[in-house]
Structure 1
């Protein structure tokens, strides 16, 4: 009794494929091995599947996809996309995942696309990513803990994508903490611009996290004949991980709104203090302006007009009057 079953689609040879991609055979028991023959593609093990991955921009891989998958599915895999999605055609599913590049920063994630065609016994991946590195293939080969089904592979890809986003989300949280700390020391001069930039970055993150969750959820509920209950459970776990990141982003967005309100309140309080000072100055100098205006009239009868010490008397009286007004305002707690 053989442990191999016919492949779901006619696959002739690996000509032009191995130079632009790789072929992996998963035995369905946690094992994985590379296929290096250039003569023919392997058949999927009875309980496992075959993974074919290649560079979506490589002409050789495009030619292979058109020849082995047909123009329709080849175009689906190579078509540019801006959002993660899941599309089911017959008993096959096209899954598109957006992944942050390694070593990315929150301001420059360098998002890359990974398109997967999932069918019974085979998964085809078209991406510019280093798929072997992204999957952690050497670890799978040594630990004998590789995916056991196509759905399990997709679930792990979703978890890998979430793993790359999680430290970036933590960085966003640290930035928000720094902005809140700057408000405590009343340094609001740059807080507004930093907060605006942070909120724009959060929007960009949500555009990656929520579609990833929706993609995994959609794949889980689709009626594909080769999906088992365990497969759907794995997809649900990966979706929950993405949803948790989305919840963290949502919580940070709500915090950012509160911080924005704090900035507005701080600026309003600062403006109120400024207006209070200006009003106090006006109250102090308005009577002085009235006195000096009256004494400055060019008419006869001005008191002490001919007294050489009158100027100093007037100045002293104005100073004493100003001090009295300031003291009065302080007693009323206006200053």
Structure 2
């Protein structure tokens, strides 16, 4: 359990004739209309337990409180079970930064469950309290749009960060860039893992034939699905660009190693004949030429310098010293 874990909280809102009222969770099961009612439980799964109302079928209840979920949309009789992933409200440790919300949607009644606090839920709650949500179709379309709007800047930031990395290829620290690019790539992979299923779930719900899913709701669901589709494409592009940049950094690193190896090889080649001459003249035997002359030392130094210059000139003539 991370530091941002919140205890189990349950709230219910009733919208009737434009008036929004906080009601007890127990009153949701007896709701028979007119109006719209929303029950939300947050913190389920952190050592807490919750008995879902009897109107939620057993299959749906198990899906609402499951520990692991993926975005999905299932039609069950006259209701819909839809799971979505969105940005977390609080900073989460050891997490991908996305949290799930599981929603049981009926025409005039919505039951939602989440393990962590979702950033987009505040906008949805504000819309409910303002009386702008009057049925399950309005709720899901508002939730989908809020999630996509919250997630869009996060995806765009990955692309911008990758642009910065491309600008630092020539003069940046290769090792720091490799770590940053690897992080961006991993984030893109994690986000795409849930963004694409979000798109599919919303597309499926937009095709369902329910009276409480109005034409405007379908348009908003498709709009949110299109935004998720665009984000999925952008994340795929980020992943491919990150892989390409990683290859370029590997090539730059190999090129730098080759240049340094060339410098070492040139230096060693220059000193190789000089080492031979000094080793030959340094033997402790009789008969070394000019050993008794004062100018012999400087003569050997000049001879070695001439050999070094000759080798350097040969490398320059062969263009081996060029980058």
TM-score bracket relative to the smaller structure:
0.7 to 0.9
Q: 2:114 maps to what in 1?
A: 127
Q: 2:156 maps to what in 1?
A: 170
- Aligned pair in 2 of structure 1 residues 88, 133: CA closer, same or farther (>3 Å)? closer
- Aligned pair in 2 of structure 1 residues 192, 61: CA closer, same or farther (>3 Å)? closer
CA distance in structure 2 between the partners assigned to 1:105 and 1:57 by the alignment: 16
User: Are the counterparts in 2 of residues 113 and 128 from structure 1 also a CA contact under 8 Å?
Assistant: yes
User: Are the counterparts in 2 of residues 151 and 235 from structure 1 also a CA contact under 8 Å?
Assistant: no
Q: 2:102 maps to what in 1?
A: 115
CA distance in structure 2 between the partners assigned to 1:223 and 1:296 by the alignment: 99
For the aligned residues, what is the CA RMSD? Answer: 3.1
- SS of residue in 1 equivalent to 2:175: coil
Q: 2:239 maps to what in 1?
A: 253
Q: 1:25 maps to what in 2?
A: 15
- Aligned pair in 2 of structure 1 residues 271, 200: CA closer, same or farther (>3 Å)? same
Once the two structures are superposed, what CA deviation does each residue of 1:7-34 show, in whole Å capped at 9, x if it has no partner?
xxxxxxxxxxxx821123266xxx5623
For 1:132-281, what aligned pairs fall within 5 Å after superposition?
134-138=122-126, 141-142=129-130, 146-224=132-210, 226-281=212-267
Q: Which runs of 5+ in 2 are unaligned?
A: 1-8
Q: CA deviation at 1:276?
A: 1.5
1:323 aligns with 2:309: yes
Name which of structure 1's ranges 192-201 and 319-328 shifts more when overlaid on structure 2: 319-328
1:333 aligns with 2:319: yes
Q: CA deviation at 1:273?
A: 1.0
User: Are the counterparts in 1 of residues 103 and 111 from structure 2 also a CA contact under 8 Å?
Assistant: yes
CA distance in structure 2 between the partners assigned to 1:140 and 1:196 by the alignment: 41
1:44 aligns with 2:30: no
Once the two structures are superposed, what CA deviation does each residue of 1:280-305 show, in whole Å capped at 9, x if it has no partner?
11221122122223323454433223
TM-score norm. by structure 1 comes to 0.79
Q: CA deviation at 1:269?
A: 1.7
- SS of residue in 2 equivalent to 1:50: strand
CA distance in structure 2 between the partners assigned to 1:82 and 1:164 by the alignment: 20
1:92 aligns with 2:79: yes
Once the two structures are superposed, what CA deviation does each residue of 1:183-230 show, in whole Å capped at 9, x if it has no partner?
121431311122112211211111221121121122223455654444
- SS of residue in 2 equivalent to 1:44: coil
Aligned residue-pair number: 309
